[in-house]
Amino acid sequence: MTEYCKRCGLPKELCVCDVIDKEETLLTLRLEKRKYGKMITIVEGFENVPEEKIKSLASTLKHMLGTGGSVKDNKILLQGRQINNCKLILNKLGWKTK
């Protein structure tokens, strides 16, 4: 039995939700200083992206950057100054950044 995507209604083999999410989303990267002078990199702009996809992307970024982080309020928080490396990885994965 064929499974169908809940968002676009197409069969899972033909689903284009990933491509549409990447093309329509413009991610913003910024640094923020937190307690005790610690810097974090914030990736935001995931308004129309499902939370499971944001968590998967966060996991990929944390693994590739070798750092910790979390997802809060549709934002990815990464420990440290990771803007340049994060931008390269996101562009390589097909996401648009500014």
The residue with greater pLDDT, 42 or 94, is: 42
Query: Which phi and psi (to 5°) does residue 40 adopt?
Result: -130, 150
User: Looking at the domain assignment, is residue 80 inside a domain?
Assistant: yes
State yes or no: pLDDT of 1 exceeds 80: no
pLDDT at position 20: 80
Residues of the domain holding 38: 26-97
User: Looking at the domain assignment, is residue 2 inside a domain?
Assistant: no
pLDDT at position 22: 81
User: Looking at the domain assignment, is residue 12 inside a domain?
Assistant: no
pLDDT tens-digit readout, 38-89: 999 999 999 888 899 899 999 999 999 999 999 999 999 999 999 999 999 9
- Give the least confident one: 1-5, 31-35, 76-80: 1-5
Q: Which two tokens stand for residue 73?
A: 């309020």
DSSP per residue, 15-77: --HHHHHHHH-EEEEEEEE-GGG-EEEEEE--TTS-HHHHHHHHHHHHHHHT--EEEETTEEE
For residue 57, the domain's CATH number is 3.30.780.10
Q: How far is CA 97 from CA 2, 23, 90, in A?
A: 35, 11, 7
pLDDT at position 68: 95
Number of domain units in the chain:
1
User: Looking at the domain assignment, is residue 19 inside a domain?
Assistant: no
Query: Which phi and psi (to 5°) does residue 8 adopt?
Result: -100, -15
Which band of pLDDT confidence, cut at 50, 70 and 90, is reported for residue 90?
Answer: very high
- In this prediction the pTM is 0.84
User: Looking at the domain assignment, is residue 88 inside a domain?
Assistant: yes
21 and 95 in contact (C-beta within 8 Å)?
no
User: Looking at the domain assignment, is residue 16 inside a domain?
Assistant: no
